Amino acid sequence: MKGVARFLLPALGGCILTLAFAPYKLSLLAWIAFIPLFYSLRDGRYPFWKAFLMGLAFFATLLYWIPFSNVEKSVLPQMITGYLLLLFYLSCYFGLSGLFYNKLRKLSHIEMFPFVFTGLEFIRSLSSNLGFPWGSVGYSQGNLIHFVQIASLGGLPLVTFWVLSMNTILYLFIENWIIKRKSRRLYLYLTLGFIIFPFLYSEIVLYRGYKSEGNLTATIIQPNILPTEKRWRSNNRLEKIREIVKSLPESDIYILPETASPYSLANSEKTKRFFQDLAKEKDGLIITGMPDFEVKDVKILYYNAAVLVDSEKIVGIYRKMFLVPFVERLPFDDIIPGFAKINLGQGHFSPGSNYSVFDAGENKISVFICYEAIFPQIIRKFVLGGTHLLVNITEDGWFGKTSAPYQHAQMAAFQSIAYRRTLLRSANTGVSLIISPFGRIILKSKIYRECSLTAKIPLVKGKTVYAKIGDTFGWLFLLFVLGLIFYRRTPND
């Protein structure tokens, strides 16, 4: 039974870690979620499989919604297969961390484990083709705004490192004090230090505030149009948008969600005129998602795009760069011959190539679309490009009434803390948000409700340390992993 229990403990830790994410809001559970795994690894047996099991339990419960997504029944088998493959792939990162933990245990340096885990997790954020940072541990802390302002120093990797350090130090304290009956006040002091430092830093940041470059009134629109209706009733959608926008109070900018427009404003004069007239009538700017296309080398390229329009012209267009693998495109289908002909039920979109910053007079605005919200390096490009305001548009109706819309919104909101920018998030249905530059929720919608959110928001220009140095911490953690791979203990150690 003892052996079985030591395999059940990592699985328990994985389930505990899931509870730290939205919609449960039990963020503090992430501070102890890895302790059951550490205890099970004391015997040094099956380190890969025990850690793999924790990852499997975590991702299976966190991503349970994938097979329940609102997709056509014809592609459901592919969705289930993809779900199982994704669980195996993501759990392997945990499994590898278990192997490194065992090596550190033999070296009597398990306190270095946070470097390893964070470095491995960082790999998942490096690519949109095989990367999938959904569920990165640091994202679980997004609602603890009095602790996670440290994200403005080192971004998601630093927050993940902090959480893993809490787990490791607490475990070492418990192991020495309770199990081995040894007094190790050092670990108690370290635990207090890892709580006090981020708290004090966050309080200082919150007290100092931010330098505002001005304000504008923004309105987020959540039309709540079902995905099936969006697909088949294009003209009705435009009329519904007209009715909703006309009924809203005056704002400087109105934000519609991903693919709110059924047609490309760049390729349909009628649709462009529709939104220009609406902008003129409301005396404001309009951002909307749209499908887009262009002909290049006798080939039609399709894009998932966003456009900013005023009463006279299209101010700018952004084409989504990080596409959802196996949903919007097959990874590497533009590189490996023959991949473009494979049909697994995925779309055939092309990635955009420009980190567009829309120049709206004195205001600079950047839009990122759906899945891109969980990749911090995309948002960093916009911030370095001078954007004052971050806008995230998404279509979360595919998730259904699951925890996915809440997880997606939680990860998007984290970016406002890391880059100290107001975040406006418009979901067709899902969780629409207005987030302050410190990550505070100003306004929030419910899922499957037609609504609008209006607020006066600050425009911030300065750059955080993280915006300036990027993922320096992430690369250092990854470098530590590489060094540990090649490290061999000498007889003199």
**Statement: residue 289 has pLDDT above 60:** yes
Q: Which residues pair with 314 in a beta bridge?
A: 309
With 90 as the cut, is the pLDDT of residue 467 above it?
Answer: yes
CA 247, chain centre distance (Å): 32
**Does 323 lie in the same domain as 235?**
yes
Q: Is residue 178 part of a domain?
A: yes
Q: How confident is the model at residue 136 (pLDDT cuts 50, 70, 90)?
A: very high
Q: Are residues 289 and 156 in the same domain?
A: no
Does some domain include residue 389? yes
> Are 347 and 452 found together in one domain?
yes
Relative to beta strand 422-427, strand 314-319 is unpaired
Phi, psi (deg, nearest 5) at residue 19:
-65, -15
pLDDT in the model for residue 157: 97
> Does 493 map to a domain?
no
Q: Which of 114, 205, 210, 208 is nearest to 153 (CA)?
A: 205
Whether the CB-CB separation of 137 and 30 falls below 8 Å is answered with: yes
Q: Looking at per-residue confidence, does 286 or 74 come out higher?
A: 286
Whether the bond between 23 and the residue before it is cis, its omega within 30 degrees of 0, is yes
pLDDT at 231 > cutoff 80: no
**Domain match, 437 and 482 both:** no
Examine residue 466 and state whether it is found in any structural domain, yes or no. no
pLDDT of residue 414: 96
Neighbours of 4 (CB within 10 A): 8
SS (H, E, C) the chain: CHHHHHHHHHHHHHHHHHHCCCCCCCHHHHHCCCHHHHHHHHHCCCHHHHHHHHHHHHHHHHCCCHHHCCCCHHHHHHHHHHHHHHHHHHHHHHHHHHHHHHHHHHCCCHHHHHHHHHHHHHHCCCCCCCCCCCCCHHHHHCCCCCCHHHHHHHHHHHHHHHHHHHHHHHHHHHHHHHHCCCCCHHHHHHHHHHHHHHHHHHHHHHHHCCCEEEEEEEEEEECCCCHHHHHHCHHHHHHHHHHHHHCCCCCCEEECCCCCCCCCCCCCHHHHHHHHHHHHHHCCEEEEEEEEEEEECCEEEEEEEEEEECCCCEEEEEECCCCCECCCECCCCCCCCCHHHCCCCCCCCCCCCCCCCEEECCEEEEEEEHHHHHCHHHHHHHHHCCCCEEEEEECCHHHCCCCHHHHHHHHHHHHHHHHCCEEEEEECCCCCEEECCCCCEEEECCCCCCEEEEEEEEEECCCCHHHHHCCHHHHHHHHHHHHHHHCCCCCCC
Domain that holds residue 481: 2-208+471-486
Give the pLDDT of residue 324.
80
Q: Is a pLDDT exceeding 90 seen at residue 391? A: yes
- Overall size of the chain counted in residues: 493
Same domain, 77 and 182: yes
**Rounded Cα distance, 348 and 357, in Å:** 25
29, 19 in Cβ contact below 8 A?
yes
Q: Would residue 491 count as lying in a domain?
A: no
- Which whole number is the average pLDDT over 393-404? 90
- Per-residue pLDDT tens digits for 307-364: 999 999 999 999 999 888 766 655 544 544 444 444 444 457 788 889 999 988 788 9
Residues 262 and 370 in one domain: yes
Residue 350's closest CA among 406, 401, 303? Answer: 303
Which tokens belong to 413?
Answer: 């909101």
Q: Global pTM?
A: 0.92
Whether 217 is covered by a domain: the verdict is yes
More confident of the two residues 443 and 360: 443
Looking at the structure of the chain, the number of domains it has is 2
Question: Pairing relation of β-strands 363-369 and 358-360?
Answer: antiparallel
Query: Which CATH number belongs to the domain containing residue 345 in this structure?
Result: 3.60.110.10
Task: Determine the Cα–Cα distance for residues 14 and 33; give it in Å rounded to an integer.
Answer: 7
- Kindly state whether residues 170 and 234 are assigned to the same domain: no
Distance spanning both ends of the chain, measured CA to CA: 37
pLDDT in tens, 179-228: 666 666 788 888 899 999 999 999 999 999 888 878 899 999 999 987 76
The per-residue pLDDT of the chain, averaged, comes to: 88
Q: Give residue 345's pLDDT.
A: 44
Residue 419 is predicted with a pLDDT of 96
Residues 195 and 254 in one domain: no
Whether residue 415 lies inside any domain: the answer is yes
Query: What's the pLDDT score for residue 203?
Result: 96
- CA distance linking residue 345 with residue 234, whole number of Å: 22
pLDDT category at 131 given cuts 50, 70, 90 is: confident
The token pair that represents 51 in the structure block: 């850690």
Residue 492 lies in a domain: no
Same domain, residue pair 477 and 373: no
C-alpha neighbours within 13 Å on the C-beta side of residue 420: 25
Q: Which residues contact 308 (CB under 8 A, 6 or more apart)?
A: 285, 286, 287, 314, 315, 316, 317, 358, 360, 365, 367
**What is the arithmetic mean of pLDDT over 421-434?**
94
Same domain, yes or no, for 299 and 203?
Answer: no
Looking at the fold, whether 448 and 352 belong to one and the same domain comes out as yes
Do 290 and 334 belong to one domain?
yes
